[in-house]
Chains A and B, each alone.
Chain A
Amino acid sequence: MNIEQVVFYILAATVLSSAFMVVFNRNMVRSIFLFFVTLFAMSGLFIYALADFVAVTQLIVYVGGMLVLMIFAFLLSSKTILNTSATHKTSLIGLHHLPGMLISLLFFLILFVTIHQANPEEIGWVRNAGNNTLVASDNTIHAIGINLMTRYLIPFEIISVLLMMALIGAAHLARRTKKQ
């Protein structure tokens, strides 16, 4: 087991443990900040799949944009919005958590069996990729730029219009209406 794999599994453990802590933490603000840690470690995993541009985009959009938006929106808007759930104190695993836990555990069981049976290394197009496999020295930003302006031009334009629509809609929804 070389150093590369050790770092990968440390990152994976960071992702999973911080995600667990986000879900099971009682304090909302703390779990939003822990969400940062999950996303950071997630971008490390993206680098291991040789997707450096996606990793940087994840850092810029999620960590830089979205989480700051989340924290600003909730910390600046109202004092009580973040501790609405602090009123009903229950034990760590209350009875109302049980169905969700059961469903997600069973779903993970299904996913585990499916992944085990699918055996992703042996899928035809993965096994026969050969020269089509990314290697660490490839310039992915170059390839992404060329593909974005040729093969994926229509999805790119559609998603830019959609993003503008969503942001205008969000600004319209979030504005304060004057009291009559």
Chain B
Amino acid sequence: MIPLSHFMLISGLLFCIGLYAVLSKRNAIMILIGIEFMLNAAILNLVAFGKYDKQVMGGQMFALFAIVLAAATVAVSLAIILNVYTYHKNIDPTTIDQLRD
């Protein structure tokens, strides 16, 4: 039997690793991976608490919805990154700071 707080600590650590990747990486792909880490940490918390909710299954259902949303996010953001690359020949978010051409 794994205590609930250990699940929360693991997901907290994973969230902070993702936060670090989002804050300090200079490559849009790495930022995307950091966002995925943060989403996975949230999903782990949902699933861990969903264990105590057998009738309604709220945690596991919304974990499934979050996974589907993450897939949609990745598809759209990959398309955006590829477009940005064809415009700027560069996907470093510190140098791309204009919305216009």
Range of interface residues on chain B? 35 or more
Which of B15, B71, B80 gathers the greatest number of chain A CB atoms within 10 Å?
A: B71
Q: Mark B43-77, 1 if CB is under 8 A from A, else 0.
A: 11001111111111101110111011111111110
Among the listed A42, A85, A103, A162, which residue makes an inter-chain contact with B26, where contact means beta carbons less than 8 Å apart? A85
A58-B67, A115-B5, A173-B76 are contacts. A45–B82 as well, Cβ < 8 Å?
no
Once the chains are docked, how many angstroms separate the CA of A147 from the CA of B15? 29
Contact assessment for A125 and B29 in the assembled complex, using a CB-CB cutoff below 8 Å: no
Query: Which residues does chain A contribute within 8 Å of B53, judged by CB atoms?
Result: 129, 132
Of A152, A162, A171, A173, the residue contacting B80 (CB under 8 A) is A173
Give the tally of cross-chain contacts (CB within 8 A).
Answer: 223
Given known pairs A166-B75, A174-B82, the reply for A104 and B20 (CB within 8 Å) is yes
Which residues from B are CB-within-8-Å of A111? 12, 15-16
Of chain B, the residue at the smallest CB distance from A146 is B57
Chain A residues whose CB sits within 8 angstroms of the CB of B50 once the complex forms:
49, 51, 134
Q: Which of B2, B16, B33, B48 contacts A22 (CB 8 A)?
A: B33
CA distance A163 to B68 in the complex (A): 7
Q: Are B24 and A101 in contact (CB under 8 A)?
A: yes
Q: Which residues of A contact B48 (CB under 8 A)?
A: 49
Instruction: List the interface of chain B (C-beta within 8 A of A).
Output: 2-10, 12-27, 29-30, 32-34, 36-37, 40, 43-44, 47-57, 59-61, 63-65, 67-76, 78-80, 82-83, 85, 89-92
B5: A residues at CB distance < 8 A:
115-116, 119-121
A89 lies within 8 A of chain B by Cβ = no
CB distance from B6 to the nearest CB of A (A): 8
